[in-house]
Amino acid sequence: MAITFQLKDKSRSTSSIEIFIRFRGASYKKTIGETTPPKFWNQNAKRCRVTRDFPEGEDVNTTIGKWDIAAKKTLEHFKEYKNLPSAPEFWEHFDSEYYKDDGKADDYYVDFLDQYIEGIKGARAESTVKKYTTTLNKLREYETDTNRRLKFSDINIEFYNSFQRWIYKKDLSSNYFGTFIKIIKRITREAHYLGLSDNIRGIEHRDFVTVNEDTDKIYLTDDEIEAIFKVEITPETIRKEFEEEYADLSPENMRRKVASMKLVRERFLVGAYSGLRVSDFSRLDVLNFGDKTIKTTTVKTGKPVVIPIHANIRKLFEEGFDPAVKISDQKMNKQLKELARLAGIKAEVIITENVGGKNVPTKYKKHQLVCTHTARRSFATNALKAGVPLSSISKILGHTKISTTEKYLRMSAEETAESLLDHAFFGNTPKENPAE
């Protein structure tokens, strides 16, 4: 039992797309009513490649996803029968699945989203598919908790407010909510474009907005990063600092804890001394490291970057750092906070956050706010403080605009003023006497 999609004629400038189904030795084939230039067809994924030159590929993939789901349901139906269906019988039932409820098979929002995700697999980046899948799962959880099934007609400001309250009750961030809303709006527009929903005004309400807050609001100073570099990570120091949390940890689990925290430290420091994103320094291997520079291509932008190797990165390699050893982002973020605490980064900071839709100043210990992205922020800020030109920092970070780089800087007003004290403009730097 297999379902695949293929081009009818690869030799033509534009080819029809066929569905090909095998079932108990029989085969069923039909064109799906969509076409694509062969050069935009991904043979492995059996989907179109969506590019600037072929944005229609996304619509084609949506149709492929619909055919795929209907075919799977049809095969499930005939699995109960001893006799093979004839081609007319097979396609008659297929049509009943595809056009269920008079063309309103996609009336339920989550069903359409599920179908849409199937259509983009192989044609969109894995990270994109993952975001859509997370949104799908979260909406299903919301439906379970609220005892309702969302229809397209339900996607309005009332749903927005209800979903936001539900997200906040689960102690999830505004940005987390904002990511979901961004995808929900996109999917709603897609369904409207395909003629599957008449509801577009619901998401056009002036308050149906994508929330986007800067969650990484701190950076670590050179001294704080140095403290992380030098902190002693042993069973004794961990038990002393985390008396309640790890006092009863077995010797074997403590050994793993020490090893894991050392790995987290090494990986974070590579980011703090190179400016690489976690998605990039997580992919590094020895081939990326030359005598003087790190060379890699960024995951997010696909841009090549060349970064001077910091002296402390060299020390890490001399001490046995292996970039091939991996750790999940979730685990790393948790242990980074513990690592910063162990290193004594405990100063109090006040952060204004959106809690339940209201801006609330909240007091934290600085170590509580450290995450993987803090490394990149810290690199940019510390490099600027050290006198590295902003344009050079921007190139190292792989930014195309200086304005993007400026958003990474986390210097306070006091730090900015202090860094300028010795500038000639302010007259605090003694002028050299001319040669007598």
Q: Compute the distance between CA of residue 159 and CA of residue 161 in angstroms, rounded to an integer.
A: 6
Q: Compute the distance between CA of residue 414 and CA of residue 403 in angstroms, rounded to an integer.
A: 21
Over its C-alpha atoms, the chain yields an Rg (Å, rounded) of 28
Q: Do residues 360 and 352 touch, judged by C-beta distance below 8 A? A: yes
Crossing angle of helices 87-98 and 57-78, in 10° steps, is 120
Amino acid letter, 398: G
**CA 91 to each of CA 3, 75, 105, 196, 266: distance values in angstroms, whole numbers, following the listed order:** 14, 11, 17, 22, 58
Same domain, 180 and 233: no
Q: Is residue 217 part of a domain?
A: no
Same domain, 165 and 249: no
Q: Is residue 211 part of a domain?
A: no
Q: Which of 433, 376, 434, 436 is nearest to 409 (CA)?
A: 376
| pLDDT computed for residue 119 by the predictor | 82
| pLDDT computed for residue 255 by the predictor | 94
Q: Which of 158, 174, 204 is the last residue of a domain?
A: 204
Same domain, 58 and 142: yes
| pLDDT computed for residue 355 by the predictor | 54
Same domain, 228 and 196: no
Q: Is residue 282 part of a domain?
A: yes
Q: Compute the distance between CA of residue 117 and CA of residue 120 in angstroms, rounded to an integer.
A: 5
pTM assigned to the model = 0.53
Same domain, 259 and 175: no
Q: Is residue 22 part of a domain?
A: yes
Three-state secondary structure readout of the chain: CEEEEEECCCCCCCEEEEEEEEECCEEEEEEEEEEECHHHEECCCCEECCECCECCHHHHHHHHHHHHHHHHHHHHHHCCCCCCCCHHHHHHHHHHHHCHHHHCCCCEHHHHHHHHHHHHCCCCCHHHHHHHHHHHHHHHHHHHHHCCCCEHHHCCHHHHHHHHHHHHHCCCCHHHHHHHHHHHHHHHHHHHHCCCCCCCCHHHCCCCCCCCCCCCCCCCCHHHHHHHHHCCCCHHHHHHHCHHHHCCCCHHHHHHHHHHHHHHHHHHHHHHHHCCCHHHHCCCCHHHECCCEEEEECCCCCCEEEEECCHHHHHHHHCCCCCCCCCCHHHHHHHHHHHHHHCCCCCEEEEEEEECCEEEEEEEEHHHHCCHHHHHHHHHHHHHHCCCCHHHHHHHHCCCCHHHHHCCCCCCHHHHHHHCCCCHHHCCCCCCCCCC
Same domain, 264 and 366: yes
| pLDDT computed for residue 61 by the predictor | 86
Same domain, 392 and 279: yes
Would strands 26-36 and 2-7 be described as parallel, antiparallel, or unpaired? unpaired
Q: Compute the distance between CA of residue 104 and CA of residue 88 in angstroms, rounded to an integer.
A: 23
Hey, which residues does 359 pair with through a beta bridge? Answer: 354
Q: Do residues 117 and 128 touch, judged by C-beta distance below 8 A? A: no
**Token pair of 115 as six digits:** 């179908």
Q: Is residue 215 part of a domain?
A: no
| pLDDT computed for residue 363 by the predictor | 83
Same domain, 76 and 144: yes
**CA 81 to each of CA 26, 29, 78: distance values in angstroms, whole numbers, following the listed order:** 14, 20, 5
Same domain, 101 and 247: no
303-329 burial: b if 16+ Cβ within 10 Å, else e: eebebebbeebeebeeeebebeeeeee
Q: Is residue 80 part of a domain?
A: yes
Q: Is residue 53 part of a domain?
A: yes
- Domain extent at residue 338: 222-419
Q: Is residue 216 part of a domain?
A: no
Q: Give the CATH number, domain containing residue 331.
A: 1.10.443.10
Same domain, 92 and 133: yes
- Residue 271 buriedness (CB in 10 A; 0-12 / 13-18 / 19+): buried
Q: What are the residues whose beta carbons fall under 8 Å from the beta carbon of 372, sequence distance 6 or more? A: 268, 271, 278, 329, 332, 333, 336
Q: Compute the distance between CA of residue 245 and CA of residue 368 in angstroms, rounded to an integer.
A: 15
| pLDDT computed for residue 432 by the predictor | 53
For each successive 10 residues of the chain (436 residues), what is the average pLDDT? 90 91 92 90 89 82 85 88 88 79 60 88 82 93 88 88 83 78 90 77 82 68 94 93 85 93 93 87 73 83 86 88 80 91 91 62 86 89 88 86 76 55 60 49
Same domain, 240 and 199: no
Count of alpha carbons within 13 Å of 7, Cβ hemisphere only? 20
Same domain, 113 and 176: yes
Looking at the structure of the chain, the number of domains it has is 2
Strand ordering across the sheet containing 15-23:
2-7, 15-23, 26-36
